[in-house]
């Protein structure tokens, strides 16, 4: 009856809706989401900050703001997040977005035409497929190994497809937890420059590091303005605030500003101001220390539980940060059937790997496990239940 636009076609597949439905069951132990832990939110600090902001500057904060974003937030983001990482930029290089998700949309608005090619990691963040599908672009998967994007395949695919954009999550990748090493980061920036391709560096997890050495962003090596860096406050403060940032050449930011004007005029000033004040009061380092210690324990519990309960021959990533572990089951498992049984019989949810892949073979034996949303006790209990199911299934095959 309704004549919906073609672009809505692939936006939300029924499989993904099933996963979300399963996760909404209160009895479910959910390793399926990607949310930060409820107990990670700095509620008292945000209460105090909100009170201060409204008392001191309520009229300005509750009025319409400018599309580019709340200037004190852009300044605080540069001072506390960008410059300490050795990345250059001024307020002209930043636009505040309604989450990193909007940053991806605005970049698609600015750069992508129907038929364009975007190179994506295989597997990659589920959310980008729905964004890119809306623009009728072709997402072409690039091979990954245990360290992330494979440079030879990236270069070959650039030459073969002449892409407009490379979308990458270089640090604690969603869904694999993999991190791109230094030399490959330099190489991505070099290839972007050499072949005139935009790199969308989506880096929401970089500050959730529990061990290992900090690595510079790909943006650090950008000599020619081809790299666009997306950051988000979703995972380091709160996703409900809906605040993210794009750092790019001023010319790109101007185009994104035009696109954002038509999308939502500006991101809520109150939540932008909360993030700015959080940074300016110097609260972020201690907050990160606290939440990273909590996540480190959850990650450790999940790793040791997988080792203990999953069938022999299971392979999985051991990330140094982020929120996800990527598991490959032994043999020829039917992961979609296992998902059905896990959610209905064992009451444990995960996301089958195939949903993250343009090339289904890359995720057919895989699943993504999120460790941030459950307590260590629930993590052990859930992994034990999954392990029993997977082991039985493996032995019966």
Ligand X SMILES: Cc1ncc(COP(=O)(O)O)c(C=O)c1O
Window contacting ligand X (CB under 6 A); options: 232-240, 253-261, 287-295, 334-342: 232-240
> Of 366, 375, 376, whose CA–CA distance to 310 is shortest?
366
Instruction: Rule CB under 6 A: say whether 120 interacts with ligand X.
Output: no
Of 170, 212, 175, nearest to 188 by C-alpha is 170
**169 lines the binding site for ligand X (CB under 6 A):** yes
Residue 170 binds ligand X, judged by CB under 6 A? no
> Tokens 């929401």 identify what position?
204
CB closer to ligand X, 220 vs 370? 370
Binding residues for ligand X, total number by CB under 6 A: 14
Stretch that binds ligand X, among 67-75, 94-102, 313-321, 348-356 (CB under 6 A): 94-102
Picking from 233, 225, 262, 223, the residue whose alpha carbon sits closest to that of residue 100 is 233
Residue nearer to ligand X on the CB measure, 355 or 387:
355
Site for ligand X in 11-40 (CB under 6 A): 34
Is residue 108 a contact residue for ligand X (CB under 6 A)? no
**Rounded to 5°, angle at Cα 75 from 72 and 80:** 115
User: % helix / strand / coil in the chain, to the nearest 5?
Assistant: 50, 15, 35
Among 125, 132, 167, 295, binds ligand X (CB under 6 A): 125
Determine, following the binding rule CB under 6 A, whether residue 239 of this chain makes contact with ligand X.
Answer: yes
In the complex, least distance from residue 383 CB atom to ligand X, rounded to whole angstroms: 22
C-beta of 344: minimal distance to ligand X in Å? 26
Which CB, 234 or 303, lies closer to ligand X? Answer: 234
Q: Does 206 bind ligand X (CB under 6 A)?
A: no
Instruction: Tell me which DSSP letter residue 209 carries.
Output: B
- Who's near 176: CB < 8 A, 6+ residues apart? 123, 144, 148, 317, 319, 324, 326, 368
Distance CA 305, CA 358 (A): 30
- Residue 234 lies near ligand X (rule: CB under 6 A): yes
Q: Identify which range of 14-22, 24-32, 96-104, 365-373 contacts ligand X by CB under 6 A.
A: 96-104
Task: Report the residue from 99, 177, 319, 382 that binds ligand X according to the rule CB under 6 A.
Answer: 99
Q: Which of 71, 128, 123, 76 is nearest to 100 (CA)?
A: 128
- Which of 76, 100, 108, 189 binds ligand X (CB under 6 A)? It is 100
Q: Does 69 bind ligand X (CB under 6 A)?
A: no
155 SS3 class: helix
Q: How far apart are CA 276 and CA 102, in angstroms?
A: 19
CA–CA gap between residue 96 and residue 240 (Å, rounded): 15
340, 342, 343, 346: CA torsion to nearest 10: 140
Q: What does the chain come to in residues?
A: 397
Work out which of 42, 204, 311, 319 binds ligand X, going by CB under 6 A.
204
Taking alpha carbons only, the member of 225, 242, 209, 235 closest to residue 103 is 242
* Residue with smaller CB distance to ligand X, 140 or 208: 208
Nearest approach, Cβ of residue 308 and ligand X (Å): 28
244 binds ligand X (CB under 6 A): yes
Among 176, 232, 343, 374, binds ligand X (CB under 6 A): 232
Nearer to ligand X, 228 or 338 (CB): 228
Query: Nearer Cβ to ligand X, position 125 or 339?
Result: 125
- Does the protein bind ligand X through residue 327 (CB under 6 A)? no
Residue 3 near residue 292 (C-beta atoms within 8 A): no
Nearer to ligand X by C-beta: 174 or 314? 174
Q: What token pair was written down for 337? A: 């059937």
Is residue 202 a contact point for ligand X (CB under 6 A)?
A: yes
Please, what is the minimum distance in Å from the beta carbon of residue 128 to ligand X? Answer: 8
Contact 238, 43 (CB under 8 A): no
Instruction: For ligand X, give the closer residue by CB, 116 or 121.
Output: 121
Instruction: Of 42, 60, 93, 99, give the one whose Cα is nearest residue 273.
Output: 60
**Phi, psi of 120, rounded to the nearest 5 degrees:** -130, 155
Judged by the rule CB under 6 A, the positions of this chain that interact with ligand X are 34, 99-101, 125, 127, 169, 174, 202, 204, 232, 234, 239, 244
């Amino acid at each position: 009856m309704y004549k919906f636009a073609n672009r809505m076609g692939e936006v939300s597949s029924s499989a993904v809706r099933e996963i979300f439905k399963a996760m909404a069951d209160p009895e479910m132990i959910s390793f399926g989401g990607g949310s930060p832990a409820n107990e990670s939110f700095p509620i008292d600090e945000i209460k105090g900050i909100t009170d201060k902001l409204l008392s001191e500057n309520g009229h300005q904060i509750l009025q319409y703001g400018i599309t580019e974003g709340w200037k004190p937030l852009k300044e605080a983001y540069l001072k506390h997040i960008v410059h300490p990482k050795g990345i250059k930029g001024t307020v002209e290089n930043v636009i505040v977005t309604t989450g990193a998700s909007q940053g991806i949309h605005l970049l698609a608005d600015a750069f992508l035409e129907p038929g364009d090619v975007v190179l994506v990691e295989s597997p990659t963040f589920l959310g980008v497929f729905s964004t890119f599908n809306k623009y009728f672009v072709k997402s072409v998967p690039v091979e990954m190994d245990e360290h992330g994007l494979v440079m030879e395949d990236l270069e070959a695919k650039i030459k073969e497809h002449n892409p407009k954009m490379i979308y990458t999550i270089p640090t604690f990748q969603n869904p694999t937890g993999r991190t791109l090493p230094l030399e490959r980061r330099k190489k991505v920036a070099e290839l972007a420059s050499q072949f005139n391709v935009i790199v969308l560096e989506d880096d929401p997890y970089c500050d959730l590091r529990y061990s290992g050495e900090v690595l510079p962003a790909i943006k650090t090596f950008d000599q020619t303005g081809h790299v666009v860096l997306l950051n988000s406050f979703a995972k380091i403060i709160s996703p409900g605030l809906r605040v993210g940032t794009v750092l790019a050449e001023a010319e790109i930011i101007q185009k994104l500003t035009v696109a954002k004007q038509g999308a939502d005029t500006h991101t809520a000033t109150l939540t932008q101001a909360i993030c700015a004040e959080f940074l300016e009061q110097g609260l972020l380092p201690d907050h990160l220390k606290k939440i990273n210690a909590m996540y480190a324990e959850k990650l450790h519990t999940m790793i040791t539980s997988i080792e203990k309960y999953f069938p022999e021959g299971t392979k999985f990533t051991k990330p140094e940060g982020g929120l996800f572990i990527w598991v490959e089951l032994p043999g020829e498992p039917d992961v979609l059937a296992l998902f059905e049984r896990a959610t209905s019989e064992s009451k444990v949810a995960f996301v089958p790997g195939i949903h993250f892949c343009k090339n289904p073979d890359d995720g057919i034996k895989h699943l993504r496990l999120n460790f941030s949303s459950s307590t260590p006790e629930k993590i052990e209990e859930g992994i034990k239940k999954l392990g029993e199911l997977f082991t039985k299934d493996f032995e019966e095959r």
